[in-house]
Amino acid sequence: MSDPILRVKNLSKHFIITGSNIAGKTIINAVRNISFDIYEHDSFGLIGESGSGKSTTANLVLRLLEPSSGTIEIFGKDITWLDEAGMRRHRKDIQIIFQQSGNSLDPKMTVGELLMEPLKIHGIAGEKEYDKETDRLLEMVGLTPKDKSKYPSQMSGGQNQRIIIARAIAVRPRIIVCDEPVASLDVSVQGQILNLLMDLKEELGLTYLFITHDLKVVRHICSRIAVMYNGEIVEMGEMREVLEKPRGDYTKLLVESIL
């Protein structure tokens, strides 16, 4: 097997909450000593109940949060303690698609401007190519060049999620972290967006870290999965193996709860 494209080793993150109680501080161990490897073109699922540490893991992998301990490697390079300047050249390799919460797109920007922004920031295309490149991105996500003059408020939830996806692929990443990318969408639209993500994965040769607590989504998308509980990875393996023959009690409960 080739080397992993993303390697997380003994990663932990605690948050210290300074409250008004007498002890003064509460420590939340959001991620506890987790390790996993993701290989190129894999679609690695991170599942578990609310509060189990999935989004914290995503934010650590993207270096949006400082880890308390452990390491993160991308393409064999340890990025755990790179400063902002050092991270700059890795930022476009790994992108995130957040849950569409209605406010993740700047409402004052048109769709065209929203798509041009990442191109400018990462110097992907020259100014003359912006128009052609934004048209190409819109078509890739199932929208049309006519949509460029619209504002996010003039588009549906599913269309806005397509714009978020277009912004992520605009910088030609190798890895995309998808954090509950369809959870806030109407059920009828969820399937379309999942299909789009799968098509783009094939077309662009992407690798996914896919976070969800929806096992239907896992079955549709993931090749390997890790199950998180209370900040720890309690089970990991091939998707079918883990879901059909869960070893741990927690995984059994999780699987049964949605059958």
Contacts with Mg ion, residue ranges (CB under 5 A): 55
Q: Of Mg ion, ligand ATP, none, which one does residue 56 interact with (CB within 5 to 8 Å by kind)?
A: ligand ATP
- For ligand ATP, the closer CB: 27 or 121: 27
Q: Does 32 bind ligand ATP (CB under 6 A)?
A: no
Which residue's C-beta sits nearest to Mg ion? 55
> Quick check: 28 binds ligand ATP (CB under 6 A)?
yes
Task: Write down the least CB distance from residue 58 to ligand ATP, Å.
Answer: 8
Shortest Cβ 104–Mg ion spacing (Å): 14
Give the binding-site size for ligand ATP (rule: CB under 6 A): 13
Q: Which does 81 bind (CB under 5 to 8 A by kind): Mg ion, ligand ATP, none?
A: none
Out of 137, 213, 224, 225, point to the residue binding ligand ATP (CB under 6 A): 213
Cβ proximity to ligand ATP: between 15 and 81 the closer is: 15
Which of positions 50-109 make contact with ligand ATP (CB under 6 A)?
50-56
Closest CA to 97 of 12, 7, 156, 185: 185
Q: Contact positions toward ligand ATP, by CB under 6 A? A: 15, 17, 28, 30, 48, 50-56, 213
